[in-house]
Amino acid sequence: QQQVKQSPQSLIVQKGGISIINCAYENTAFDYFPWYQQFPGKGPALLIAIRPDVSEKKEGRFTISFNKSAKQFSLHIMDSQPGDSATYFCAATGHNFNKFYFGSGTKLNVKP
């Protein structure tokens, strides 16, 4: 059973537009939700993360929205740029950070 479900699988956005990627989870014991960015040939890199005690976190052009009751969270990339073209993964883990569960990834293509 997939612990974290991610959609869409791929996304095409025009430069300057908003990219939105969604994730859902079932395990209510999860309490840390990071997003990672991965470029071809590289390992994932942490982009932004949130805990369920807040509904939104913003860092620059990247915002996580968190809906605890719906067990859903999403990544919003404002003013999307061609350099943002990459694969994005959501993830979840419990309070001891012993085991991370990743979504299946969203390949974002920002067209100039």
Chain residues binding other proteins by CB under 8 A are: 4, 6, 32, 34, 41-46, 49, 89, 91, 93, 97-105
User: Which residue's entry shows tokens 């991370």?
Assistant: 100
Q: Output 17 or 100, the one with its CB closest to other proteins.
A: 100
Least distance (Å) between residue 93 CB and other proteins: 8
The DSSP line for 50-107 is E-TT-SEEEETTEEEEEETTTTEEEEEESS--GGG-EEEEEEEE-TT---EEE---EE
Q: Output 17 or 32, the one with its CB closest to other proteins.
A: 32
Least distance (Å) between residue 18 CB and other proteins: 23
What is each CA distance from 11 to 1, 22, 69, 107, in whole angstroms?
A: 25, 11, 26, 6
Q: Output 17 or 85, the one with its CB closest to other proteins.
A: 85
Q: Output 36 or 84, the one with its CB closest to other proteins.
A: 36
User: Cα separation of 9 and 108, whole Å?
Assistant: 9
Least distance (Å) between residue 23 CB and other proteins: 10
